[in-house]
Amino acid sequence: ATVFPQVIGLAATWDEELVRAVGHVAGIEGRAVHNNAKKLGIYGHMMSGLHCFGPTTNVNHDPRWGRIKRTWGEDPFLTGTLNSAHIQGLQGGDGRYMKMAADVNMFGVHSGPDAIRTHFSADITDRELFDYYMP
C-alpha cells in the first residue's frame, strides 16, 4: 500500500485537491484488496477492502489527546473541507459504484479522555458546540 503523511501533516498543506487525490489512491488500493480477497474466497472478511475506518472528523483542541495525528487539526472549516475531499476521493464519483465506503469516525465532542471515552459525559456549552465544533 502507498504510504502518505499522517493526516495532520496533510492538513498543513491546506490543499483540498491533494487530499482528494490521496483518498482516490487509497480507494483504488482498497478496491484492489477487496478484489484479491474475493478471488481468494475470503470475501466479507473485515479486512476485505471495501470498508475504511476513517477519516476522523473531530477537531483537535487539546494536544494531549492521543489521536491528534489522526485529525486535520483545530480548525473546524479546514476539517470539514478536507474530510469532504478525502471522502470524495475514497468513494469515487461513480453514481452506481463506490470504490470503498468511508466510515467516518470520532464526530464532534469526541476528544474526551481516552481512559473513559466510552462512558464520560461530554458536557459543553452551546457556545462551545456552535463556535468550535459546528460553526
**pLDDT tens-place string over residues 32-50:** 988 888 888 887 666 677 8
Residue that is written with C-alpha cell 477492502 in the block: 49
Q: Quick one: pLDDT at residue 60?
A: 81
Closest to 83 in 3D by CA, of 51, 50, 66, 108 = 108
Q: Quick one: pLDDT at residue 56?
A: 81
Calpha distance 113→36 (Å, rounded): 39
Task: Summarize pLDDT for 50-80 with one digit per residue, the tens.
Answer: 888 778 888 887 777 777 888 898 888 999 9
Mean pLDDT, the chain, rounded, equals 83
Question: What percent of the chain clears pLDDT 70, i.e. is strictly above it?
Answer: 81
The answer to whether the CB of 11 falls within 8 A of the CB of 73 is yes
pLDDT(113) > 70 = no
- Kindly report each contact of residues 10-19 with a partner whose C-beta sits within 8 Å and lies 24 or more positions away, as own/partner: 10/72, 10/82, 11/71, 11/72, 11/73, 11/78, 11/79, 11/82, 12/73, 14/78, 16/81, 16/82, 16/85, 17/85, 19/82, 19/85, 19/86, 19/89
pLDDT(93) > 80 = yes
Calpha distance 135→133 (Å, rounded): 6
